[in-house]
Amino acid sequence: MSVSGKISQIAGLATFPPNLMWSAASGMVARKFWRDELSKQGWLNTYRACEFTSELTYNHACYWWHSFKNMREDVRDYLELGSWEGQSSVLAGWLFPKARITAVDWFANPQANDRFDRNTASFSNRLEKIEGTTVDILMRFAGEGRTFDFIYVDADHRFDGVLLDTILSWPLLRKGGYLVWDDYLWMHPAIPHLNPKRAIDAWLASRRDSIDVVFAGHQVCVQKIADDTQITDMAYWN
């Protein structure tokens, strides 16, 4: 990376809220080491055997590796919102060999859908592919009492969409489980509400006592350390 690139990356740290800043700084320093370590694990062979039109979750796989390498078999129920060609499903399928992978997406693009099917064929026996709108599916899961120990949010990138997906995912996440958002730092140059960061920051501030930050960078990961209190404001009205 050029010197000016490094400077702008370091300056970018100032945009992180204080509880993410330390993780973001340490990730920036250690990322190359994590990436080198991951490259020795066979992940690249798995990735290269697939058919992807762009590098997406691949770019952040080293954060997942570093954070979860010592508990790979503990993740049993993985949910992702937004699958496209299956890059994150393939990462999760490889990283969490005992997990059931639940992938929710519109799967509206026929070519991407075909690539998803081909890319995930090697673990189709533990893959649940669900076609639909994330909010509908999350509400259905809530009604069915389904819970997960890992949820990856990477579907609707609008402020409202990220917030809704997060709000509806949180009760489905088991205590001790992990929530990851993609594209924390992505924003549309001209459309202010196309910006996950604002939604994630607002939500994180509301739950600061219920989470531990696991990593932060272009993606953010938190661990759920406490369930929500069941007390609502109605308690004050009785």
Binding pattern for the stretch 139-178 against ligand SAM, x by CB under 6 A and - elsewhere: ---------------xxx----x-----------------
Residue 13 Cα to chain centre, angstroms:
20
Comparing CB distances to ligand SAM, the nearer of 149 and 156 is: 156
Comparing CB distances to ligand SAM, the nearer of 123 and 210 is: 123
Kindly tell me which residue out of 23, 88, 102, 219 binds ligand SAM, with binding defined by CB under 6 A: 88
Query: Token digits for 58?
Result: 């691949």
Burial class (CB in 10 A: 0-12, 13-18, 19+), 195: buried
**Number of residues counted as binding ligand SAM (CB under 6 A):** 17
Residue 2 Cα to chain centre, angstroms:
28
Kindly tell me which residue out of 23, 87, 119, 219 binds ligand SAM, with binding defined by CB under 6 A: 87
Q: Which of 91, 101, 76, 81 is nearest to 174 (CA)?
A: 76
Comparing CB distances to ligand SAM, the nearer of 23 and 134 is: 134
105 lies in the site for ligand SAM, by CB under 6 A? yes
16 lies in the site for ligand SAM, by CB under 6 A? no
Subset of residues 171 to 230 that bind ligand SAM, contact rule: CB under 6 A? none
Least Å from the CB of residue 11 to ligand SAM: 26
Comparing CB distances to ligand SAM, the nearer of 25 and 35 is: 35
Comparing CB distances to ligand SAM, the nearer of 13 and 56 is: 56
Contact in structure between 85 and 115 (CB atoms under 8 Å): yes
Least Å from the CB of residue 60 to ligand SAM: 9
Binding pattern for the stretch 42-61 against ligand SAM, x by CB under 6 A and - elsewhere: --------------xx----
Q: Which residue carries 């798995």 as its tokens?
A: 46
Least Å from the CB of residue 58 to ligand SAM: 8
The conformation of residue 99, written as its DSSP 8-state character, comes to P
- Alpha-helical segments (H) within the chain: 3-12, 18-39, 43-48, 61-68, 87-95, 110-119, 134-144, 159-169, 196-206
Integer angstrom CA distances of residue 6 from 3, 30, 217: 5, 14, 14
Residues 6+ apart with CB under 8 A from 226: 175, 209, 210
Least Å from the CB of residue 88 to ligand SAM: 3
- List residues near ligand SAM by CB under 6 A: 56-57, 82-85, 87-88, 105-106, 108, 133-134, 154-156, 161
